[in-house]
Copies of this chain bind each other. A is one copy, B any other.
Amino acid sequence: MRVGVIGVGCSRFGRRDDAVIQELAYEAVKEALDDAGITQDEVELSVVGSVNTRGYELMPAVPVNEYCGFAGKGPLRVEAACATGAAAVYTAYTSIASGMADVAIAIGVEKMTEVDTATSLAIGGRAGNYLWEFHQYGTTFPAYYAMHATAHMAKYGTTEEQMAKVAVKAHRNAARNPKAHFQKEIAVEDVLNSRYITYPLKLYDCSPISDGSAAAILASEEKIRELGIDDVVWIDSVGYASDTSNMTNRESFVGLKATVLAREMAYRKAGIEEPVKQLDFATVHDCFTIAEIMAYEDLGFCRKGEGGKLVESGETELGGKLPVNTFGGLKAKGHPLAATGVAMVYEIVKQLRGEAGELQVELRNNRALLHNVGGTGHFAFVMIFGR
């Protein structure tokens, strides 16, 4: 059973004191419904993704579904840390592919700015490892990725300048995306001169704490024909994997094994052997600049250890061989946890339809990749889309 995306929506990301969680969700839901040209009546199933960092709502699917007009539709909420968005898309996808629903909506929504930054970092640290690394060493979330960065620097000679270029690229794209959290361009020097959060990661190497939502409406091929929709972005394949949360048990810090495993699953099913040639662009999980560099390698965009050089080459910029994070990435578009994975679907659909305005990539293959990670690879999803 083929499953396609028939409508997408995305809220403005950033500090959203103007909206409570259900209003924020509806901002994306309304756009997605309008985009698909359907109403709530056609949707059979609503999957709400929300990590709910503050505990603002114990069971967030209830108010979100109620407010968005899906009270009679939704049987569940999903959570997979920062990969919650992709997990919601996964659940909507499997619900349709298994024949349980013909039309399903995946909603990702998060209000994070209500919590102070220190709390968020502590929560992130707990997400990184519950067993003892946070409690024993006070390891916050940036510290985990700092370990990845230092390992990568030591083994492959990756530099702080190369990492900075990921941030510069992200800000350049985000500055042209009116929904992005950050709207200003930055230079390599700005990154290098920003204060250290945890060596070697500086303020501008880190994605921000954002509020935001995104929604994607999925449907079965049969239903798509019945609805007479002919502009569809298909989900060609879905890969998932996970890994130990205990960093001390990891084989290596220079990449994420979960990404590699999820990639293998997704590429095998979609027949991807040379991603740079076969894909038009990719959205990857750049919660920190080093994460994008590792993703290049783990996803096979370059050889292991050459991620720093790849960003330096400019080939992942708009106009390059394989543009990455064309809407600004987690780094500059913002990272409202559960919204992120669904917002990647939004970006992919907009790009593959040629609706990305001045951020539009060149379409040769009409295929794109989604890569969403939870924690430091506790969860990973890789999906291939085509139009």
Q: Which residues of A does B touch, CB under 8 Å?
A: 1, 45, 51-53, 55, 57-59, 61-63, 65-66, 71-81, 83, 87, 90-91, 93-100, 123, 126-127, 130-131, 238, 240-246, 258, 261, 375, 378-381
Contact = CB atoms under 8 A, between A and B. Distances in A.
A334 B382 CA distance: 40
A381 B100 contact: no
Contacts of A261: 72
Nearest to A70: B242
Contact of A78 (B53, B62, B78, B244): B78
Contact of A79 (B61, B126, B127): B61
A183 B1 CA distance: 49
Nearest to A80: B76
23 contacts: A45-B240, A52-B58, A59-B126, A62-B245, A63-B245, A66-B130, A66-B131, A66-B244, A71-B242, A71-B243, A71-B244, A72-B244, A74-B242, A74-B379, A75-B80, A75-B90, A75-B380, A76-B79, A76-B91, A77-B78, A78-B78, A94-B97, A97-B99
Contacts of A77: 78-80
Contacts of A127: 58-59, 62
A143 B95 CA distance: 34
A379 B75 contact: yes
Of the listed residues A53, A72, A258, A380, the one surrounded by the most CB atoms of chain B closer than 10 A to its CB is A72
A186 B364 CA distance: 73
A153 B165 CA distance: 70
Contact of A381 (B61, B75, B99, B378): B75
Given A94-B94, A131-B63, A126 B58 contact: yes
A76 B81 CA distance: 9
A62 B375 contact: yes
